[in-house]
């Protein structure tokens, strides 16, 4: 890896972007060569501002980790915001990157791009084969568009301009920098907060949304960052050998999943909560199962290292240090 490249991390303040920053610097990349901007400094929904930023800073590589994200409640409540903001951010960044001469870009998507009833585990070729999960369809549509933006720029400008824009699709992520908002967070940070508050308040019971039967796969965010840097730096011939021009994205998963009920018990144990766990079956479950087929990535020489129990302990430590 060229440790002197000027690299822009879009979304560096978020959970994934900050993990990519840690991974790059731990690998010896010069911190001063990593370009970042907060939302206050650069609104990625503002096309003119994004174009001006790229023309001024001229990064050589881009990691696109910016996104408006949230759990089932947030996706159900703010569908217009989720599709509009995510479409605008990624379209502006990818187009401005091309216009300023960026040859290498990595787009980070989500496992929710796959159909609700996709065969398990979900392989890359399941994309666009069936209806999406209704509760997060707007977000998923935006992420699918991001994949196709990258593929389209490759197809039109790969040979003539040397464009090489890649996409990775992570499973459910957790870890340092997560969002612990009581309503708008994903399942693991939501459970960590709920069990912690129940422990502190000595609540006799914690109620979890849904039946507890859906299965989910979880990946520690620093593993995701390592996978992202690994994929970004694969030789183009190797990447092309394992992908296709119109199906070029790569799944990034842990390799096994767990029911929400068992996850809740595990989080409770990590937090130290000793009360009862109840399930509110009137609330939505979401997709029945989401397990990624990550054989493509494993064949490219990478697999996850951090187990769920260890990862949850690290995540809980992060929550205690940053509970807001």
Catalytic residues: 139
Q: What gap in Å lies between CA 229 and CA 223, rounded to an integer?
A: 10
Q: At what angle do helices 187-201 and 308-321 cross, to 10 degrees?
A: 60
Q: What is residue 275's DSSP assignment?
A: S
User: b/e map of 224-256 (b: 16 or more CB within 10 Å)?
Assistant: bbbbbbbbbebeeeebeeebeeeebbbbbbbbe
Q: Which residues contact 42 (CB under 8 A, 6 or more apart)?
A: 49, 50, 53
- Any idea which residue has 């089932």 for tokens? 72
Cβ atoms 64, 16 nearer than 8 A: no
Q: State the DSSP string of 42-92.
A: --TT-HHHHHHHHHHH--SEEEE-------HHHHHH-HHHHHHHHHHHHHH
CB count within 10 Å of CB 273 equals 23
Cβ atoms 109, 173 nearer than 8 A: no
Cβ atoms 238, 166 nearer than 8 A: no
Q: How far out from the chain centre does Cα 219 lie?
A: 10
CA-based R_g, the chain, Å? 19
Cβ atoms 174, 315 nearer than 8 A: yes
Could you check whether the bond before residue 121 is cis, i.e. omega within 30 degrees of 0? Answer: yes
């Amino acid at each position: 890896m060229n440790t002197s490249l000027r690299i822009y991390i879009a979304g560096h303040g978020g959970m994934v972007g900050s993990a990519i920053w840690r991974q790059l610097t731990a690998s010896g990349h010069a911190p001063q060569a990593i370009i970042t901007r907060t939302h206050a400094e650069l609104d990625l929904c503002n096309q003119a501002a994004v174009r001006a930023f790229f023309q001024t800073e001229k990064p050589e590589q881009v990691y696109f980790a910016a996104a408006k994200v949230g759990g089932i409640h947030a996706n159900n409540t703010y569908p217009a915001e989720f599709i509009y903001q995510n479409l605008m951010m990624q379209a502006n960044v990818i187009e401005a990157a091309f216009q300023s001469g960026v040859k290498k870009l990595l787009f980070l998507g989500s496992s929710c791009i796959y159909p609700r009833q996709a065969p398990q585990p979900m392989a890359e070729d399941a994309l666009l084969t069936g209806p999406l999960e209704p509760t997060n369809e707007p977000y998923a549509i935006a992420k699918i568009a991001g994949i196709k933006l990258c593929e389209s720029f490759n197809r039109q400008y790969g040979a003539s301009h040397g464009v090489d824009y890649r996409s990775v699709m992570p499973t459910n992520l957790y870890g340092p920098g997560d969002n612990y908002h009581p309503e708008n967070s994903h399942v693991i940070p939501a459970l960590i907060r709920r069990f912690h508050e129940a422990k502190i308040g000595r609540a006799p019971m914690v109620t979890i949304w849904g039946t507890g039967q859906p299965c989910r796969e979880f990946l520690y965010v620093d593993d995701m960052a390592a996978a992202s840097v690994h994929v970004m730096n694969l030789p183009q011939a190797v990447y092309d050998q394992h992908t296709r021009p119109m199906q070029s994205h790569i799944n990034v998963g842990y390799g096994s999943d767990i029911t929400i009920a068992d996850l809740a018990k595990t989080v409770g144990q990590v937090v130290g909560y000793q009360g009862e766990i109840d399930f509110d079956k009137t609330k939505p479950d979401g997709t029945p199962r989401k397990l990624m087929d990550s054989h493509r990535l494993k064949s490219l020489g990478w697999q996850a290292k951090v187990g769920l129990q260890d990862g949850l302990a690290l995540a809980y430590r992060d929550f205690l240090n940053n509970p807001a």
